[in-house]
A and B are shown apart, each in its own frame.
Chain A
Amino acid sequence: MATLRDIKRRIKAVESTSKITKAMKMVSAAKFRKAQQRMLEMRPYAERMNGILSSLASGAEGETHPLLMVRPRRNIEVLVLTSDRGLCGAFNTNIMKAATRHIDELRREGYEVTIDVVGRKARDYYKRRAIEMRKAWTGIAGKISYANAQEIAAEIIENYTNETTDEVVLIFNEFKSAIAQQVVISRILPLAPIQAAEETLPIYNFIYEPSKQEIFSRLVPKNVEIQIFRALLESQASEEAARMAAMENATRAANDMIGSLTLQFNKARQASITKELMDIVGGVEAMKG
């Protein structure tokens, strides 16, 4: 039986843990709101970008671009997005599981797979297993800027254009809601053929400066950047949401534990009082006799 002092010490320990987890939950709640905000801000840009692209494509006599070219798949590049820090529940585990499964499958089918990672967690995961990575970007989570997406996109586009890779796949946590994230595997290159705008109401004869081809060829890589940027933001929001949930659970577990420890403490205290009383009563009885 644990002594009173031991139990008290444990209660203290659990209490301070619950304070920390509670604070962490609050911090990630604030970060989550910010990340979600940025996701929303990004949306109008992406929508209008699609609008322009499709209106360009609709008036097109089959515009082509290196990034729209579909080649036979041989080398596949996989970009895995994780967080830099832990304590966010199954967030990273889910990603790594899905990524490993996907990569194994591709390798079994005989494709060459190159791995790129974003986030310290994925980098450490592959390092520990001595799996080769081509490139790892770390330290950007938490302060994602558009420049980060541009940097990653430039790298990917270059590899695609010089035919080092024939397909690029992104694996990341898509933000569903504050309590649900979903791992998605999405292909970013080659780009899906751009749909011509459905409502072709005003058939404008656009004037293009410098030229239609030029504009198109600038917009297409931009679209890749946007997709990566969106994925980074989604992953960020998911991470904070996952951490919020994990910390909420941890706080609740700690409080449960405090409850049962307090019960145990009170029981032990009662037992010791009863024992002392018995001793006194026993002593009195003995003196009488």
Chain B
Amino acid sequence: MAEGKVLLEIVTPQGLVFSEEVDEVTAAGSEGEFGVLPGHVPFVTTLKIGMLTCKKGNESKYFFVNWGYAEVGAEKVMILADSAERSEDIDLDRATAAKKRAEERLKQAENVDFARAESALERAVTRSQVVEIRRVK
């Protein structure tokens, strides 16, 4: 293990999404966003739908993470997510379509599973944001 690095692993039931040594990790915990630098205190948290960023040198990588858990150690961050995508793998058209669908569903007052529609909306919006951020930077 190189000095001053953290090993970031993102694992989903669909496979290992990412496994590399990076300098810094930022993720959306259920209690708020948190950042991890090498030597972080051991820490376990649940994650919500959100963006995960990691920095390696001057290069930043962005991920979309859909629920999950993070186990943080001094030199390791392990993310167990229901699903996770690299920003470059996100299908923006699909996300936009999903957003529209969810919004329409939320407009109808009846026969809607609100919790489901809301989390679908949240996923779609977050996906778009992740793509957006990569474009801007």
Residues of A within 8 A of B45 (CB): 208-210, 215
Query: What is the CA–CA distance of A38 and B69 in the complex, to the nearest angstrom?
Result: 22
Q: Name A215's contact: one of B12, B42, B69 (CB within 8 Å).
A: B69
With known contacts A44-B11, A48-B11, A218–B46 Cβ distance under 8 A: yes
The yes or no answer to A41 lying at the interface (CB within 8 A) is yes
Contacts of A206 in B (CB 8 A): 42-44
Most buried by A among B14, B30, B44: B44
Rounded to whole Å, the gap between the CB of A139 and the closest CB of chain B is: 20
A41–B12 alpha-carbon span in the complex (Å): 9
Contact with B along A41-56 (1 / 0, CB 8 A): 1101100110010011
Complex: A212 Cα to B46 Cα, angstroms: 10
Q: B71: nearest residue on chain A (CB-CB)?
A: A52
Is B98 close to A, CB under 8 A? no
Contact with B along A177-211 (1 / 0, CB 8 A): 00000000000000000000000001011111110
Residues of A contacting B: mostly:
helix
Across-interface contacts of B57 in A (CB, < 8 A):
none
Q: Is the CB of B15 within 8 A of A41?
A: yes
CB interface residues, A 21-46, toward B, < 8 Å? 38, 41-42, 44-45
Task: Flag B1-35 by CB within 8 Å of A: 1 or 0 each.
Answer: 00000000101111110000000000001110000
Q: In the bound complex, what is the Cα–Cα distance between A204 and B9 (angstroms)? A: 19
B9, B13, B46, B80: residue with the most chain A Cβ atoms closer than 10 Å: B13
A41 adjacent to B46 (CB under 8 Å): no
What residues of A have a CB within 8 angstroms of the CB of B43 in the complex? 206-209
Interface residues contributed by chain A, number (CB under 8 Å): 26
- Interface residue tally for chain B (C-beta within 8 Å): 23
Complex CA–CA separation, A79 to B75 (angstroms):
42
Q: Are B44 and A209 in contact (CB under 8 A)?
A: yes
B78 contacts the other chain (CB 8 A): yes
Min Cβ gap B9→A in Å is 8
Query: A257 at the A/B interface (Cβ < 8 Å)?
Result: no
Does B44 contact A146, Cβ atoms closer than 8 Å?
no
Q: Are B13 and A209 in contact (CB under 8 A)?
A: no
A181 to chain B, nearest CB (A): 22
Contacts of A229 in B (CB 8 A): 13
Is the CB–CB distance between A146 and B29 below 8 Å?
Answer: no
Task: Indicate with 1 or 0, residue by residue over A70-88, a CB within 8 angstroms of chain B CB atoms.
Answer: 0000000000000000000
Contact A204 B46 (CB under 8 A): no
A227 to B85, CA, bound (A): 23
Q: Chain B 64-106, CB within 8 Å of chain A: the 1/0 string?
A: 0000010101000010101100000000000000000000000
Contact (A45, B13) CB under 8 Å given A52-B44, A207-B43: yes
Q: Once bound together, how far apart are the Cα atoms of A251 and B78, in whole Å?
A: 49
Q: Please give the distance in Å from A140's CB to the nearest CB on chain B.
A: 15
Task: Check A44 against B30 for contact (C-beta < 8 Å).
Answer: no
Chain A interface (Cβ within 8 Å of chain B)? Answer: 38, 41-42, 44-45, 48-49, 52, 55-56, 146, 202, 204-210, 212, 214-215, 218-219, 226, 229
Q: Sample 22 A-B pairs with CB under 8 A, ordered by A number.
A: A41-B13, A41-B16, A42-B14, A44-B11, A45-B15, A45-B80, A52-B44, A52-B69, A52-B80, A146-B82, A205-B42, A206-B43, A207-B41, A207-B42, A208-B43, A208-B45, A209-B30, A209-B31, A209-B43, A209-B44, A210-B45, A215-B45
* 8 A-B pairs closest in CB distance: A41-B15, A204-B42, A209-B45, A207-B43, A206-B42, A209-B31, A146-B13, A45-B11
Known: A205-B42, A210-B30, A210-B45. 13 other contacts (CB 8 A): A38-B14, A45-B13, A52-B71, A56-B44, A146-B14, A146-B82, A204-B42, A206-B42, A206-B44, A209-B43, A209-B46, A219-B69, A226-B13
Seen from chain B, the residues whose Cβ lies within 8 Å of a Cβ on chain A are 9, 11-16, 29-31, 41-46, 69, 71, 73, 78, 80, 82-83
